[in-house]
Chain A
Amino acid sequence: MKLIHEFPVLIIIIPLIFALIIPLVGRLNRILPWIIASTITFFCFLTSIFLLFTVLDTGKISYWLGGWEPPWGIEYVVDYLNAFVLAVISFIAFIVSLYSGRSVEAEINEDKQLAFYSIYMLFITGLLGIVITGDIFNMYVFLEITSLAGYAMIAMGRKRDALVASYNYLILGTIAATFILIGIGYIYMATGTLNIADLQERLPALFHSKMVLVALAFFTVGLSLKLALFPLHTWLPGAYTYAPSVVSCIMAATATKVGIYAMLRIIFGVFKIEFDIHFIPIANILIVVSSMAIIAGSAVAITQTNLKSMLAYSSVGQIGYIVLGAVLANQTAMTGSIIHILNHALMKGALFMVVGCIVYKTGIEDISGLRGMCKKMPFTMAVFTVAGLSLMGVPLTVGFVSKWYIAIGALNAGMGYLIPVIITGSLLSAVYIWRIIVNIYFPDELPEPELLYTDGGTEITDNDTYSEAPWSMLAPTMVLAVLCIYFGISATAPLSIAEKAAVMLSQ
């Protein structure tokens, strides 16, 4: 039973080891890498659920790497916030691994498939590492592992544009990482420690120091760039559009969430809320920026004709919601923000997986190609509808729960004028989702299609005959859709954890 105490480190080490083993054994059998990836991410999911229950039972878990006592050694800490995020990330990673088998076969060159699974495992390692570590420099290292793996995965896209998108992300991601590193350097210079819990104790005495102010500025810009907060979102649409579908799924559902986790941890965990509010109006700046993100992201999404790029812009808007909830800095709004990490992961994961199914079956990425698709792929389209309704924030879906909490939080903070922003964002997302739902279910109401060819050069096929995506892709997609409804109706379990995390952060 002693191995149980090692779970906080095993959840990082096991995927890392298998990222290295996959290139060794993957040549033996074509589906072996997929089996390994699914098994290992399932192990990570079980471990994170175990950690979550342990944290709920006994409170914070601390693991000393190499037996060195913090703040000298590196510490892995699991508390309410990151136990929750760990469970979300590892669950999505598991679902996407299950889904990836057929999609990777169809969308990634055969000689790169082995590399894909290896890099995918590294990517998951990095994400879990950012979340679990209690050391700010260690967080930076894992952030770099994730980003490097991300650049490589995006570049595996079929079109040549994928290389440009990946390069674009590489440049901006490196700038972001450099800013974060400079921020870490400054607070290390000011306090002499890198341990997050230790920083939390030492920083309040130094809040008047200019050095700490500069560090916060670097962190804010660097993290905003990493999590694609408007107007620093420019890398995101290209990256999500041209990456292979599986990569779009995993990045949209987890990478930006982890960016938001890092922002919550640094802005509210390392620096205190009083600092953010009383010494520098960082919260006010971020409220304005995230409101702009909600409106602008959703508005630009309406103008897109490519399905993936529309979902990417919609992600920019949804990231705005999460950041808005966080920086309102009261418990209700922060609960909404934390629960939206789960909710957005579920619905955006489901939506991108639907796009992956469509691309697998027909090669269509264009919205006009979905005309009358309800006859061809009824289950996939049902999932799209459910996830789309969640994105709008219709009651009884997950989107409603988080938007409700964020709106109540805005009222509690005395900022009622933010309510119209939240509602406008929802209405705009209703416009871009409804446009597609009309295409799917009511093609007769639309004018005749002018273009018979989509931008990908694929001929629009006959959409009337039934031809559904394979079950290995459809089943994981449907699981996410069912959860979108389930957590929309009975949100008590995730909400109670999110509330505890919010209480912990606002102390």
Chain B
Amino acid sequence: MCYIAVEEEKEHMREHIIIRIVSKFFTPFIQLYAFYVIAHGDLGPGGGFQGGVILGASMILYVIAFGMDEGRKRISQKASDIFISTGALVYAGIGILCILAGGAYLEYDVLPLGSHHLASHLGIYGIEIGIGITVAFVMITIFFETAKKEME
């Protein structure tokens, strides 16, 4: 019964060519905007979390338009698990690098990257990217988990 419903839904989805084309068209622009928000986190409004949510949303949009199976082909559970850990490790790792460079935890300006100002800028930049990766893939995982429960 449930299986038939899913099959019907798949048939149903194939008819929505407009949704598919438009979401396929929009996905790269949403992702570009996400990278903009992540990259400008230390200068303007936004940052790793907000950018990560937008990046996650772009992939969720793709999954909504093309279905769960197609989405899982693009981003497997294993890959997203790895990205979740890696993103947060980037954050913690930069903090540890600061300690190794002789400063306190997360004291970016001691990093040997030219001037103190530049080191501070790049340190925050790296952390925003780490947060962005983790948040994006956590969003996707939450979406997949919720959708999976609906289908069962």
* B-binding residues in A (CB < 8 A): 2-3, 6, 9-10, 13, 16-17, 20-21, 23-24, 63-67
Contacts and interface: CB of A to CB of B under 8 A. Distances in A.
Contacts of A2: 102
Interface in B78-99: 81-82, 84-86, 88-89, 92-93, 95-96, 99
Contacts of A20: 85, 88-89, 92
A2 B89 CA distance: 23
B104 A13 contact: no
A20 B84 CA distance: 8
21 contacts: A2-B102, A3-B99, A6-B99, A6-B104, A6-B105, A13-B92, A13-B95, A13-B96, A17-B89, A17-B92, A17-B93, A20-B88, A21-B85, A23-B84, A24-B82, A24-B85, A65-B104, A65-B105, A65-B106, A66-B105, A67-B110
Contacts of A17: 89, 92-93, 96
Given A16-B92, A20-B92, A21-B89, A9 B105 contact: yes
A200 to B, nearest CB: 23
Interface string B93-136: 10110010011111111100000000000000000000000000
Contacts of B82: 24
A67 B110 CA distance: 10
Nearest to B123: A66
A63 B95 CA distance: 14
Nearest to B102: A2
A10 to B, nearest CB: 8
B85 A63 contact: no
A269 B88 CA distance: 33
Q: Which of B88, B103, B106 has the most CB of A within 10 A?
A: B106
B100 to A, nearest CB: 9
B104 A66 contact: yes
Nearest to B96: A13
Contacts of B86: 24
B5 to A, nearest CB: 26
Nearest to B85: A20
Contacts of A21: 85, 89
A24 B78 CA distance: 10
Given A13-B92, A16-B92, A20-B92, A67 B103 contact: yes
A23 B104 contact: no
B104 A67 contact: yes
Contacts of A23: 81, 84-85
A143 B81 CA distance: 25
Given A10-B99, A13-B105, A20-B85, 15 more contacts: A2-B102, A6-B99, A6-B105, A13-B95, A17-B89, A17-B92, A17-B96, A20-B88, A21-B85, A65-B105, A65-B106, A66-B107, A67-B104, A67-B109, A67-B110
A9 B104 CA distance: 9
Nearest to A118: B85
Nearest to B110: A67
A-B pairs, top 8 by smallest CB distance, nearest first, are: A67-B107, A66-B106, A9-B105, A67-B104, A20-B85, A17-B92, A66-B107, A24-B85
A10 B85 CA distance: 19
Contacts of B108: 66
Contacts of A16: 92
Contacts of B96: 13, 17
Nearest to A64: B104
A98 B99 CA distance: 30
Contacts of B104: 6, 9, 63-67
Contacts of B107: 66-67
Nearest to A24: B85
B117 to A, nearest CB: 15
B84 to A, nearest CB: 8
